[in-house]
């Protein structure tokens, strides 16, 4: 290199110049790039177990990345499915294994204490459990929200609780929905498979709009009206 060229290069010694001029060394798994940082040198990009570097017939450099980040773990990826704890053998996109007879949180979104969790709620068998824990008294423990794009007339409820058997048939022999407090057997509100509602407590309403024409209900309304009339008569005497 002539002295003039050395002087020209010396003007850029404070800069970092990278010349993307690739070249292969004797091994096909080693690519060198010409770089300049105070000194002109070849920097190697070498292949590894998960990175295979080759050169095709036209001279193009091929980087083949065969990366398995889940290797030697209990996480598996196959055919577009992810399995945690077992291979994705079922038709789920994400399958998290939770052993039976084991109380365990399978999925948690939050800070480790407050948040949203899914798992098994019992040490005997498997009882799917959804838990929401708020951070203080101003947070609801679990909040269900249904949103609609168009608020137009429809017979479809925005939020639906649906009970059915594993074959998607309507339930015939057990209730659909129960509401309790600290118990799986003592229900404060129970809706059975026929739509009957049982409430263990007082019902407070501002008004009642009756469309039921059954005799019992009509008789009750008539009885209340008669009692109201009698009270008014007594108050006037």
117-170 pLDDT tens trace: 999 999 998 889 999 999 999 999 999 999 999 999 999 999 999 999 999 999
Q: How far apart are alpha carbons 198 and 216 in whole angstroms?
A: 17
pLDDT reported for residue 162: 94
pLDDT reported for residue 184: 83
Least confident among 29-33, 73-77, 145-149, 181-185: 29-33
Digit-coded pLDDT (tens) for 78-99? 888 999 998 888 889 999 999 8
Q: How far apart are alpha carbons 59 and 12 in whole angstroms?
A: 32
pLDDT reported for residue 68: 65
Of the candidates 94, 96, 156, 103, the residue with the CA atom closest to the CA atom of residue 125? 103
pTM score of the predicted model:
0.57
Place 215 in a pLDDT band, splitting at 50, 70 and 90. Answer: low
pLDDT reported for residue 116: 95
pLDDT reported for residue 63: 74
pLDDT reported for residue 12: 47
Q: How far apart are alpha carbons 106 and 85 in whole angstroms?
A: 10
């Amino acid at each position: 290199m002539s002295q003039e060229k050395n002087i020209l290069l010396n003007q850029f010694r404070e800069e970092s110049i990278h010349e993307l001029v690739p070249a292969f060394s004797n091994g096909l798994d080693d690519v060198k790039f010409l770089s300049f940082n105070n000194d002109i040198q070849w920097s190697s990009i070498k292949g590894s177990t998960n990175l295979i570097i080759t050169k095709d017939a036209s001279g193009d450099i091929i980087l083949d990345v065969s990366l398995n980040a889940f290797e030697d773990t209990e996480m598996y990826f196959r055919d577009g499915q992810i399995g945690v704890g077992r291979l994705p053998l079922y038709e789920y996109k994400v399958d998290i294994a939770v052993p039976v007879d084991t109380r365990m949180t399978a999925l948690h979104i939050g800070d480790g204490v407050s948040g949203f969790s899914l798992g098994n709620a019992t040490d005997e068998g498997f009882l799917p459990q959804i838990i929401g824990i708020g951070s203080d008294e101003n947070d609801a423990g679990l909040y269900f929200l249904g949103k609609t794009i168009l608020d137009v007339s429809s017979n479809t409820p925005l939020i639906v609780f649906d009970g059915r058997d594993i074959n998607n048939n309507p339930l015939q022999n057990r209730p659909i929905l129960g509401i309790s407090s600290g118990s799986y057997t003592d229900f404060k509100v129970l809706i059975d498979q026929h739509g009957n509602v049982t409430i263990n407590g007082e019902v407070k309403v501002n008004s009642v709009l009756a469309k039921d024409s059954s005799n019992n209900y009509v008789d009750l309304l008539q009885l209340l009206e008669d009692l109201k009339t009698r009270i008014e008569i007594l108050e006037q005497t």
